[in-house]
Structure 1
Amino acid sequence: MIGQFPPIILASKSPRRQELLKLMGIDFTVVLKEVDESYPSGLNPTEIAVYIAEKKAKAFDESIRNEIVITADTIVSLDGQILGKPETADHAFEMLSALSGRRHDVITGVSLLKGHKLYSFYELSEVFFKPLSAEEINYYIAACQPMDKAGAYGIQEWIGMIAVEKIIGSYSNIVGLPTHRLYRELCRITAQ
């Protein structure tokens, strides 16, 4: 049966991830646990995304029975440097100025925890921004308050409509969850 999965727990407060799962037609419950999102030095951007997603999933290892826990971490990488969530409007301006007229990677690490087994993967999408004026950047920061977003932007918002010239890879991955790959992996581990 299409989309028949065990009970799903989404361990994310991201409204974007919750909306994507709803659009996939998946019933789920949101359960949150505080997790330290630090990571060891020396990891590359894809390893960091998976490491943090796994750390979030392992926080549930003792508390689940027959559920599948979905955790994810999305990072923006510019020339191998991680652009996290901005701390201030000035910091957001710096990040968006750095992305202006450039190509960057958006990587989402995803972990699925089922019966004490962890299944992890990542998806990488390339995003190409047009050059942005200071006026455009300031408008976006004031209008959309992107402080809760890696790289200081959401592709589904105004800046995505006017600044993104091209993407290579999954659009939903850039929003925060690679839905096509997630569906395939959920089907695979449910069948095991």
Structure 2
Amino acid sequence: MKQSKIILASSSPRRKELFEKYHLNYSVDFVDTDEVLDENLTLFKRLENIAIQKAKPLQEKYTHHTIVAADTMVTFNQEMLGKPKDRSDAKRMLQMLSGHKQTVITGVCVIKDQHIASFSDATDILFKKLSEEEIENYLDTNEWEGKAGAYAIQGKASQFVENIDGDLENVIGLPMYKLLNYL
């Protein structure tokens, strides 16, 4: 039997890089969806639901393939820090995270043989105390654009990290160890 290809339901370059790192046979296809957060669910289940919302539109198109979708969110004091709206929003987030621990949660959906499974993973990140100059210099790079919590841990923001407790790849966008076990 021919090995089924994995359909990565994501436009994230980071997720593509992780799939390539593990030499997975995949292609990318995604449908832009309105991400609806169900406030009645835990943060973990909310993100898993968004991942399901991203994967399901591809289910009929790829009946004999495995579909993988994910959603990553930075959380701090029970507040979800999504992608910043603009530079001042990014600055607000970085000032909030400065000197504090945050939790990065990724919800993942895997659809295989029409069966839908979801799981999530969490990684704690401790930022050092950031100076105003460090924040402004980082904002000048524009690396924060389109990034949950206003930073990319695999980029220049790695210098802000004092400690990581959990899976670094989860913070980048996919908990690959858990995902490979599912696949």
Shorter-chain TM band:
over 0.9
- Is the Cα–Cα contact under 8 Å of residues 64 and 115 in structure 1 kept in the other structure? no
Partner of 1:79: 77
Distance apart, 1:134 and its partner CA = 1.1
Partner amino acid for 1:156? Q
In the alignment, the residues of structure 2 paired with residue 53 and residue 117 of structure 1 have an alpha-carbon distance, to the nearest angstrom, of 14
Partner of 1:94: 92
Distance 1:113 1:21 in 2: 17
Q: Identity over the aligned pairs, expressed in percent?
A: 37
- 1:13 counterpart = 2:5: no
Match of 1:103 in 2: 101
Residue 183 of structure 1 pairs with residue 180 of structure 2: yes
Deviation at 1:48, TM superposition (A): 1.5
The alignment's C-alpha RMSD in Å is: 1.2
What TM-score, normalized by structure 1, do the two folds share? 0.91
1:147 match: secondary structure: coil
Q: Which residue of structure 2 lines up, in the alignment, with residue 174 of structure 1? A: 171
Superposed, 1:1-80 pairs within 5 Å as 5-80=3-78
For 2:135, the aligned partner's letter is: I
* Partner-residue secondary structure (3-state), 1:119: strand
Q: How many residues align?
A: 182
Deviations 1:138-190 (A, max 9, x none): 11111143121100001011111x1101111000000001111111110xxxx
Deviation at 1:49, TM superposition (A): 1.1
Unaligned runs of 5+ in 1: 187-192
Q: Give the SS at the match of 1:137.
A: helix
TM-score with structure 2 setting the length: 0.96
Shift of 1:43: 2.5
- Name stretches of at least 5 consecutive residues in structure 2 with no aligned partner: none
| Residues 132-171 of structure 1 aligned to structure 2 (within 5 Å) | 132-160=130-158, 162-171=159-168
